[in-house]
């Protein structure tokens, strides 16, 4: 038996890649950034783009909002879409294009790891950023790297002390700054 409160999610790992203190705050203080107006707008845009996946070059069937849970990693998430019958492509849809998207790639690879664990061979990861499409092969090396990151995130959120991090320009606009032990 599991609940969302005791499993790690791709969101935690994505935030860990961005700043490891953020998932530590979320787990230890229970705070999450409230939804902003642009997030609400983005949600509707994202929904429209998900509907258009049928028109893109993905192998059917296309399953939307796929719930995935790995007992082994105590990791769970809802993938935006998973395509293909035997060899899967995992798809993450963001409403708008971004200049920096490495943390989204990290999140997507966590979904790829979940898909590999739960559904079987997962060969590609697709990130849709507005009208742009980024594709990556899901290699053994990428999966191993993602597993290491999941384990590091687990260790960070379960630690009594906040993880070490480098303060940088991103701290200036960080919503979590008010709870951050380094400020």
Closest contact distance (angstroms) between CB of 20 and ligand SF4 is 8
Among 13, 17, 21, 82, which residue sits at the site for ligand SF4 (rule: CB under 6 A)? 21
* Least CB distance to ligand SF4 at residue 103 (A): 12
Please identify which residue in 110, 129, 150, 180 interacts with ligand SF4, judged by CB under 6 A. Answer: 180
* Residue 71: burial class (beta carbons within 10 Å; 0-12, 13-18, 19+): exposed
Q: Which of residues 129-168 bind ligand SF4 (CB under 6 A)?
A: 165, 167
Compute CA distances 12 → 58, 60, 63, 85, whole Å. 28, 30, 24, 29
Q: Residue count at the site for ligand SF4 (CB under 6 A)?
A: 13
Residue from 19, 76, 82, 129 that binds ligand SF4 (CB under 6 A)?
Answer: 19
Least Cβ distance, residue 28 to ligand SF4 (angstroms) = 12
Tokens representing 7?
Answer: 């499993």
Residue 102, CA distances (Å) to 14, 56, 66, 108 in order: 9, 23, 23, 10
Q: Which is nearer to ligand SF4, 17 or 91 (CB)?
A: 17
Count other C-beta atoms under 10 Å from residue 154's C-beta. 20
Distance CA 183, CA 181 (A): 6
Q: Which stretch binds ligand SF4 (CB under 6 A): 33-41, 65-73, 117-125, 169-177?
A: 169-177
87 binds ligand SF4 (CB under 6 A): no
Q: For residue 95, which of 43, 152, 142, 148 has the smallest C-alpha distance?
A: 43
List interacting residues with ligand SF4 (CB under 6 A): 19, 21-22, 165, 167, 170-171, 174, 176-177, 180, 182-183
């Amino acid at each position: 038996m599991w609940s969302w409160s005791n499993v790690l999610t791709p969101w935690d790992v994505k935030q860990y890649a961005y700043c490891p203190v953020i998932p530590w705050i979320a787990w230890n203080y229970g705070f999450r950034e409230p939804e902003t107006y642009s997030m609400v707008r983005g949600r509707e845009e994202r929904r429209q783009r998900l509907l258009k996946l049928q028109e893109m070059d993905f192998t059917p069937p296309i399953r939307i909002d796929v719930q995935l849970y790995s007992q082994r990693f105590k990791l769970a998430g809802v993938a935006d879409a998973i395509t293909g019958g035997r060899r899967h492509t995992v798809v993450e849809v963001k409403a708008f294009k971004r200049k920096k998207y490495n943390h989204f790639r990290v999140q997507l690879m966590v979904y790829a790891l979940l898909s590999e664990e739960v559904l079987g061979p997962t060969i590609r990861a697709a990130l849709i950023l507005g009208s742009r499409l980024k594709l990556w092969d899901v290699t053994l090396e990428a999966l191993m790297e993602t597993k290491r990151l999941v384990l590091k995130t687990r260790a960070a959120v379960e630690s009594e002390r906040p993880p070490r991090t480098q303060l940088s320009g991103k701290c200036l606009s960080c919503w979590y700054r008010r709870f951050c032990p380094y400020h």
